[in-house]
Amino acid sequence: LVGVDVLRDLRVGMNLVAVQGARGEVSGPARASLDAVLDGIGDHYAALSAGRRQPPHADLLARLDQALTRMGQTAFVPGGVTGLVGLRRNLFPDAPAFNPEPAA
């Protein structure tokens, strides 16, 4: 089971690289939502590092979904969308399918 966690964490890391790369290509609400995702993932891994072994908080799933919605409302940045989807799938494998928020 530890090997599975290592592979998941490796995939999360690769997806984080994609999201961080996309961050420089967007601005406004899309960038703010990517920052919120990055902050949430940082908090999750900081807790793990401190010995608090717990699943990611549901708030992080909401942040990921909001970032996916915002990225869909801006110029298409493939690495960012792919990275967000990868993060969502690896951190929340049992979550219901993504359902974009209605356009406001």
Q: Can you say whether the dihedral through the CA atoms of 43, 17, 34, 94 is positive or negative?
A: negative
Domain boundaries, the chain: 2-91
How much is the mean pLDDT over the chain? Answer: 90
Q: How far apart are CA 100 and CA 103, in angstroms?
A: 8
Q: pLDDT above 70 covers what percent of the chain?
A: 92
Q: How far apart are CA 28 and CA 25, in angstroms?
A: 11
pTM: 0.88
Secondary structure tally for the chain: helices H, strands E = 4, 0
For 59-100, write each residue's pLDDT tens digit: 999 999 999 999 988 877 888 999 999 999 999 999 999 988
Of residues 20 and 76, more confidently modeled: 20
Closest CA to 44 of 23, 13, 7: 13
Q: How far apart are CA 16 and CA 74, in angstroms?
A: 19
